[in-house]
C-alpha cells in the first residue's frame, strides 16, 4: 500500500547520505578545508534534493524528517561559506595592509 512512499524515502535518504554525507558528518572547521567552489556545489545539491523531497510521493512524517535533515546540512554549509568568505576578506585586508606598509 505504501510501497512507493517507502521506496522514495529510502532513495532520498540514500541520496542525502551519498551526496551530502561528508557535510552531514563534518564539523564546520572540516568544511573550511574544502574550497569555496566545492561548498557552493554542495549548496546546489542541497537545493536539488530539497526540490525532490517536496515533489516526491512521501508520507508527511518522512517528508518532514528528510527536509529537517537537509535543512541542517544547508545551515552548516551556509555557515561554512559565510565563514570562508570572512576569512578571505580578512586575508585580503592583511595583504593590502602589508603592501601599503612596504610601498
The pTM is what? 0.84
| pLDDT in the model for residue 4 | 96
* Interatomic CA distance for residues 50 and 68, integer angstroms: 10
Q: Which parts of the chain sit beneath pLDDT 50? A: none
CA 37 to CA 45: how far, in whole Å? 12
Radius of gyration of the chain (CA): 19
For CA atoms 42, 43, 44, 50, the dihedral sign is: positive
Q: What contacts 56, CB < 8 A, 6 or more positions away?
A: 8, 12, 63
Please give the pLDDT value at position 25: 95
Helix, strand, or coil (residue 26): coil
Q: What is the grid cell recorded at 39? A: 561548498
pLDDT at 103: 64
66-92: pLDDT as tens digits: 999 999 999 999 999 999 999 877 777
Amino acid at each position: 500500500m505504501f510501497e512507493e512512499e517507502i521506496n522514495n524515502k529510502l532513495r532520498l535518504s540514500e541520496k542525502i547520505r551519498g551526496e551530502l554525507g561528508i557535510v552531514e558528518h563534518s564539523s564546520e572547521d572540516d568544511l573550511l578545508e574544502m574550497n569555496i567552489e566545492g561548498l557552493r556545489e554542495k549548496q546546489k545539491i542541497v537545493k536539488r534534493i530539497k526540490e525532490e523531497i517536496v515533489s516526491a510521493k512521501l508520507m508527511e512524517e518522512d517528508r518532514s524528517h528528510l527536509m529537517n535533515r537537509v535543512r541542517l546540512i544547508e545551515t552548516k554549509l551556509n555557515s561554512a561559506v559565510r565563514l570562508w568568505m570572512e576569512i578571505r576578506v580578512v586575508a585580503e585586508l592583511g595583504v593590502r595592509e602589508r603592501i601599503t606598509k612596504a610601498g
